[in-house]
């Protein structure tokens, strides 16, 4: 069974290659093989491979740049996603896709449900929402997982930025009025693999239902809370050069960015846990696991 994974060099795409290996022959591709900013080029490659599962981990994820490059972001996050879903239908493949907490406006007072109204507060979120909707409107069998605050041992992410800053500065300020769930790419990949295995079984039994699911680590924190935990683990490990003495909480207004960020983006995962019979690690426990890897490396 061929499994096509896009975005092989991204945080999630990288982890999916390992996590999906027990399910079939994983063909992980980067943009040189499959460029999602050129939707018209996708069909020949995908139809030649004839995958039984298409897992789309590629995305235009430069949140601030998307305010300016909205058209490219739209092609990658919406137009190509629609095409990949249509190709999945044509080939009888399962289509798996990822979306974001940024589809919400961030004014919520309790964890968001999949059924809550969406209202993206930036261009990136709007293109991701368009992608979600295209998948839902397709006639394919599909799963969409909305996740948040993704980090891993590779790529550009908050954890690696904090480690770098902590080795360069004695003091750093981190936003403390945005709340969410830091989620490791490895955890998303592992839970995706289990969910896909069940979905494939359901499809064989003609009992599969497509659906949108929230998929994040358990618990919540702020960027400041996340940064403090990263610095504390780095110090405990003894293998990082940590110069920082003070991690200071500040408000969002201290870091103006081109794209607005939601103040509250905690996602309720009950639907995912119930459907797939899976449980999730708390964000801090998952961070310790990632850290063990990083420290050993």
Ligand X SMILES: NC(=O)c1ccc[n+]([C@@H]2O[C@H](COP(=O)([O-])OP(=O)(O)OC[C@H]3O[C@@H](n4cnc5c(N)ncnc54)[C@H](OP(=O)(O)O)[C@@H]3O)[C@@H](O)[C@H]2O)c1
Q: Segment near ligand X (CB under 6 A), from 46-54, 145-153, 198-206, 278-286?
A: 145-153
Instruction: Give least dist CB 30 to ligand X, A.
Output: 6
Instruction: Give least dist CB 68 to ligand X, A.
Output: 15
- Nearer to ligand X among residue 7 and residue 120 (C-beta): 7
Instruction: Give least dist CB 231 to ligand X, A.
Output: 20
What whole-number distance in Å separates Cα of residue 20 and Cα of residue 192? 8
* CA-to-CA separations, 296 to 15, 234, 237, 289, in angstroms, rounded: 18, 12, 9, 11
What binding mask, one character per residue, do residues 110-129 give for ligand X by CB under 6 A, x or -?
A: ------------------x-
* Neighbouring C-alpha atoms within 13 Å toward the C-beta of 120: 20
Q: Is 150 in the site for ligand X (CB under 6 A)?
A: yes
Q: How many binding residues for ligand X (CB under 6 A)?
A: 28
Q: Looking at 55, 74, 100, 192, which residue binds ligand X (CB under 6 A)?
A: 100
What region, left, alpha or beta, does residue 53 occupy, with left being phi > 0 and alpha being psi -120 to 50 degrees? beta
Q: What does DSSP assign to residue 170?
A: S
- Helix then strand then coil, in percent of the chain rounded to 5, is 45, 20, 35
Q: Is 148 in the site for ligand X (CB under 6 A)?
A: yes
Residue 98 near residue 56 (C-beta atoms within 8 A):
yes
Residue 77 near residue 115 (C-beta atoms within 8 A):
no
**Nearest residue to ligand X on Cβ basis:** 10
Query: What is the set of active-site residues?
Result: 124
- Nearer to ligand X among residue 157 and residue 237 (C-beta): 157
The footprint of ligand X (CB under 6 A) covers: 7, 9-13, 30-31, 34-37, 57-61, 76, 98, 100-101, 128, 147-150, 155, 185
């Amino acid at each position: 069974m061929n499994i096509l994974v896009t975005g092989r060099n991204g945080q999630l795409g990288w982890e999916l290659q390992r996590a999906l290996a027990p399910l079939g022959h994983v063909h992980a591709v980067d943009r040189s093989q499959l460029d999602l900013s050129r939707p018209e080029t996708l069909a020949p490659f995908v139809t030649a491979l004839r995958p039984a599962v298409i897992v789309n981990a590629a995305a235009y994820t430069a949140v601030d740049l998307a305010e300016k490059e909205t058209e490219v972001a739209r092609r990658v996050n919406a137009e190509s996603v629609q095409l990949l879903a249509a190709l999945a239908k044509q080939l009888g493949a399962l289509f798996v896709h990822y979306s974001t907490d940024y589809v919400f406006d961030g004014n919520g007072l309790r964890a968001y449900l999949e059924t809550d109204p969406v209202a993206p507060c930036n261009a990136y979120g709007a293109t991701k929402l368009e992608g979600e909707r295209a998948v839902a409107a397709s006639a394919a069998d599909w799963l969409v997982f909305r996740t948040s605050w993704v980090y891993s041992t590779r790529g550009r992410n908050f954890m690696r930025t904090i480690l770098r800053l902590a080795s360069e500065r004695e003091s750093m300020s981190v936003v403390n009025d945005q709340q969410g769930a830091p989620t490791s790419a490895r955890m998303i990949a592992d839970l995706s693999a289990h969910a896909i295995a069940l979905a494939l079984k359901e499809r064989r039994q003609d009992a599969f239902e497509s659906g949108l699911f929230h998929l994040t680590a358990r618990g919540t924190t702020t960027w400041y809370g996340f940064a403090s935990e990263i610095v504390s683990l780095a110090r405990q490990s003894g293998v990082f050069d940590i110069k920082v003495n003070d991690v200071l909480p500040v408000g969002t207004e201290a870091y103006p960015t081109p794209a607005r960020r939601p103040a509250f983006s905690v996602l309720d995962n009950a639907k995912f846990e119930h459907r797939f019979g899976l449980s999730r690690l708390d964000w801090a426990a998952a961070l310790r696991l990632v850290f063990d890897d990083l420290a050993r490396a």
